[in-house]
Amino acid sequence: MYDSTYRLFAGILHCVPLALMPENRPVKRIGFIGLGDMGLPMACNLLKAGFDVTGFDLRPERLDLLKDEGGLGSGSVGELGQNSDVVFVMVMTGKQVAEIILGDNGLLKSMRPGSVIILSSTIAPSDALEVAVPVLNGGLKMIDTPVSGGKSGAENGTLTIMAASDQETFDNCQDVLKGVGERIFHVGEEIGMGQTVKAALQALIGSTFTAIFESLVLGAKAGVRGEVMHEVFGASGVGSPLLKNCSKLIMDRAFKGTGSQIATMYKDLGISMDLAKQNGVAMFTTAAAYELFQSGISLFPDEDNWSIVRLLEQIADTEVQW
């Protein structure tokens, strides 16, 4: 079912005429909707790159933080759209994305023809496709571009970007994308392909988290010091920045405020599992990770991914320590 829907929307998108960016004017006015743990540092990096940035968030204190860095705040999505050449959308769910873009006071009705929406939220590929058709038919452009790298990547401007759009739009927005990311991949021309790549990546990351949690608890229960595991695992063939950062945060007992919330990973793994079901793919490891994150969000709803290790520690009657 997903394949047929994907081909239908992809065919429609290829037939949509692309508007031109207004009057040879350099893209400088950036709008940014969603100033959370990821969005705010991304917006600040765009300021550092020389763009004029206006933000919108339902929390006034987040707008104040952007203003402190030299940005502007907007009172509504529509007002922001009217005054922006490019708008990033970085919110949590597909429903929020649809309301921001297609709502009565949304971007589709407020942005000028030829302007660009950069969809950086992680949502279902089908949700991205459903939003894209009226956007492109309405004379706007869109880049489906979820990101990876976490809060530290957003702060340091080193995010990995998975961009899907027509080649012309992708090329014209290189300066904007480079303002927030370091590794920029053009993963396809069909809107939804960026989200598809991200769903596959999140399945890998979620499964990797689960393996790290279990391995550390196993070692701790058997009497191995955390420092030893941190060093040996990090130097092995599976050593990675993700493993090193994760194990350090666990042993530092840093379970909140690190910018990697359980709720976000649980939502993303749900998207991965839905995509697997639509395509008839067995996901044994990802399914186990999804169940573990479901248990974790029940116990620690406001905490970060690493908190899940405490569930495994409770079962094993141990604690991972340095």
- Looking up tokens 């998207």 gives 271
Radius of gyration of the chain (CA): 21
Of 127, 162, 190, the position where a domain reaches its end is 190
With respect to residue 262, please indicate whether it lies within any of the assigned structural domains: yes
Same domain as 297, residue 232: yes
119 touches 128 (CB < 8 A)? yes
Residues 65 and 81 in one domain: yes
Looking at the structure, do residues 6 and 127 belong to the same domain, yes or no? yes
Look-up of token digits 């990675």: 240
The answer as to whether 52 is a domain residue is yes
pLDDT at 32: 98
Report how many domains make up the chain: 2
Per-residue b/e over 59-98, b at no fewer than 16 CB within 10 Å? Answer: eeebbebbeeeebebbeebbebbbbbbbbbbbbbebebbb
Q: Are residues 136 and 129 in contact, defined by beta-carbon separation less than 8 angstroms? A: no
- Is 216 part of any domain? yes
Is 31 inside a domain boundary?
yes
CATH of the domain at 239: 1.10.1040.10
Choose among 21, 58, 25: nearest CA to 39: 58
Same structural domain for residues 9 and 120?
yes
Q: Are residues 40 and 70 in the same domain?
A: yes
Q: In 3D, which of 100, 27, 93 has the Cα closest to residue 57?
A: 100
Q: What is the pLDDT along the chain (322 residues), one digit of tens a residue?
A: 444 444 444 443 443 333 344 444 455 799 999 999 999 999 999 999 999 999 999 999 999 999 999 999 999 999 999 999 999 999 999 999 999 999 999 999 999 999 999 999 999 999 999 999 999 999 999 999 999 999 999 999 999 999 999 999 999 999 999 999 999 999 999 999 999 999 999 999 999 999 999 999 999 999 999 999 999 999 999 999 999 999 999 999 999 999 899 999 999 999 999 999 999 999 999 999 999 999 999 999 999 999 999 999 999 999 999 9
Is 221 catalytic? The answer is no
- Do both 133 and 77 map to the same domain? yes
- Please report, for residues 29, 54, 85, 151, the alpha-carbon distance to residue 35 in angstroms, rounded to integers and kept in the order given: 17, 11, 18, 12
Residue pair 302/256 in contact (Cβ under 8 Å)? The answer is yes
**Of residues 87, 116, 103, the one with CA closest to residue 19:** 116
Tell me, letter by letter, the H, E, C secondary structure of the chain.
Answer: CHHHHHHHHHHHHHCCCCCCCHHHCCCCEEEEECCCCCHHHHHHHHHHCCCEEEEECCCHHHHHHHHHCCCEECCCHHHHHHCCCEEEECCCCHHHHHHHHHCCCCHHHHCCCCCEEEECCCCCHHHHHHHHHHHHHCCCEEEECCEECHHHHHHHCCEEEEEECCHHHHHHCHHHHHCCEEEEEEEECCCCHHHHHHHHHHHHHHHHHHHHHHHHHHHHHCCCCHHHHHHHHHHCCCCCHHHHHHHHHHHCCCCCCCCCEHHHHHHHHHHHHHHHHHHCCCCHHHHHHHHHHHHHHHHCCCCEHHHHHHHHHHHHCCCCCC
Phi, psi of 159 (to 5 degrees): -60, 150
Which structure tokens are listed for 42? 């991304």
Q: Which of 146, 168, 190 is the last residue of a domain?
A: 190
Establish if 24 belongs to a structural domain.
Answer: yes
278 with 259, same domain? yes
180: CATH: 3.40.50.720
Q: How many CA atoms lie within 13 A of 103 on its CB side?
A: 14
Same domain, 185 and 237: no
Q: Is residue 322 part of a domain?
A: no
My answer on whether 21 and 53 are in the same domain is: yes
* Catalytic residue (one of 28, 48, 109, 198): 198
The pLDDT value recorded for residue 28 is: 78
**Could you tell me the maximum CA-CA distance found in the chain, to the nearest angstrom?**
68
Q: Which of 142, 173, 190 is the last residue of a domain?
A: 190
pLDDT of residue 310: 97
pLDDT score recorded for residue 261: 93
Indicate whether 48 and 179 sit together in one domain: yes
Instruction: Identify the pLDDT of residue 5.
Output: 43
Closest CA to 284 of 193, 214, 210, 233: 210
Instruction: State the pLDDT at residue 259.
Output: 86
Residues 148 and 210 in one domain: no
| 181 within some domain | yes
> What pLDDT is attached to residue 26?
57
Domain ranges, residue 90: 2-190
25 and 123 belong to one structural domain: yes
55 DSSP β-pair partners: 32, 73
Q: Are 300 and 308 in contact (CB under 8 A)?
A: yes
Q: Is residue 54 part of a domain?
A: yes
